[in-house]
Each structure stands twice: as C-alpha cells, then as structure tokens.
Amino acid sequence: MNTKSNPSSVSIAWFVPAGLIVFSALPLLFGALRLNELITGAAITPANARFFASPLPVVVHIVSSAVFAMLGAFQFVTGDRRRWLGWHRAAGWVSVISGLLVGLTGLWMTLFYARAANSGDLLFALRLVFGSGMIVSIGLGLTTIRRRDVLGHRAWMIRAYAIGLGAATQVLTGIAESLLVSQRDALSNALFMGTAWVINLAVAEWAIRRQTAHRAHAGSAVPAPSK
C-alpha cells in the first residue's frame, strides 16, 4: 500500500487555512493600526478616547484575535492528524486560551467602554450574546474532547472560530451597509454587524454537517469483516 501523500490532496488540505488567514487579514490590519496608535501616542479623538483611557483590554483583544485567527485556521487542516498530533494539541491549547481572551475582553469592552457612534442597545445585546456564545462554544469544545468526542470537539471549535472571525465578515457587511443604506444609524449598524455573525455561523453549521455526512459515508463504505 502506498503511504505517500498525494501532492494535489495536500494542496487542497491547505487551501482552507490559507483562505481563512487571507480573509482575516483586513481586521487584523485594522487592529495593528490601533496598536500603533496606542504605542506611538497618536492624537486622542472622540473615536479612540476610550482606548487611551483603558488600553489593556483592547491590546489583549487585538493580540489574542491575531493568534486565534492564525493558529485556529491551521487547526482545520485535513488529513492524517496523527503525524502532527503534538503540534495540534499545543496549538490547540494556545488557540483555546487566545479565544477565551478574545471573548472575555470583547465582553469587558462592551460592558465598560463608552459606546462608539451608531452603537445602540441592539448592537450592545448582540455583542453580549455572540461574545458569550464564543466562550461557551470553547468551553463545550474542551468538554467534548475530554470525553474523546473528536467530532463534537471539532464542531464546537468551528462555531467558536466562526464567531471570532465575525470582524472579518463585518468588513464586508459594512461595505454593503454603506452601499444600501443612505443614512446609517444605530439600527442599521446593528443589523448589518449581526448579519455577519449569522452568516459565519450558517457557514460553520454547513461545514459541520458536511463533515459529519462525509464521515458517515466513509464509515458505511468500509466493508464488513468476513465471518
């Protein structure tokens, strides 16, 4: 039996993480610009005053988001994980910790930072719901892997990653909002930002169901042992 990897299958396996990293590049760039503002002592404006007043949460949020987006993407590489099991576990723990920091700092900023322009009660509630959902998903991901439920673990971590990548999709929905809404306000801002999280979770559920169906099909295709 040939145990060598097919180059074409390897390239396909790396397509998903590469695409996720490219997709998350723009919000990560915005985060880097925010860090540069704080480090260099840029002029304080109404838009950034809350960050200068309490910089630690936003710094932790930005750095953790970058780690979660990058390492989390590579956790979805398909293929024989046993060859890289040590790396997968180590990167997984770093991803879990960074993901929890993303969720917790996101909740902290929602609760204690002054609200930005066009940020009303609906967006406040959505941030609490999805931020809490990310933390709960990571917690369930840990619970399921402790029970050796690999598929359940993968499903919950995919959901957490989808919520965490909401900022990337919000760049696209923000563009759509600017094109479709003549007078942007707190309601339109909340609806379009909320739509981004819903889109990500819908794609996540599709991927989870697709993987489950693929595993079931592969299992049914295995011939029964002869008596």
pTM here is 0.86
User: Would you say residue 221 lies in a domain?
Assistant: no
Domain membership of residue 141 (yes or no) is yes
- The total number of structural domains that make up the chain: 1
In a domain, 218, yes or no: no
pLDDT on residue 49: 92
**Model pLDDT, residue 13:** 61
Distance CA 42, CA 37 (A): 5
pLDDT score at 152: 94
Residue 125 located in a structural domain: yes
For residue 63, tell me if it sits in a domain.
Answer: yes
Q: What is the pLDDT of residue 121?
A: 97
Other residues' Cβ atoms within 10 Å of the Cβ of residue 88 = 16
- Encoding tokens for residue 81? 């994980």
Residue 200 to residues 161, 218, 227, Cα–Cα distance (Å): 9, 27, 47
Q: How many residues does the chain have?
A: 227
Whether the Cβ atoms of residue 168 and residue 23 lie closer than 8 Å to each other: yes
Q: Can you give the residue range of the structural domain that contains 207?
A: 10-211
Is residue 67 a part of any domain in this protein? yes
Residue 58: alpha-carbon gap to chain centroid: 17
Is 176 strand, coil or helix?
helix
Encode the chain (227 residues) as per-residue pLDDT tens digits: 444 445 544 455 677 788 889 999 989 999 999 999 999 988 899 889 999 999 999 999 999 999 999 988 887 766 555 666 777 788 889 999 999 999 999 999 999 999 988 899 999 999 999 999 999 999 999 999 999 998 999 999 999 999 999 999 999 999 999 999 999 999 999 999 999 999 999 999 999 998 777 666 555 554 554 44
Domain assignment present for residue 220? The answer is no
What pLDDT, on the 0 to 100 scale, is given for residue 81?
Answer: 58
Is residue 55 in a domain? yes
| Token couple for 88 | 């997968």
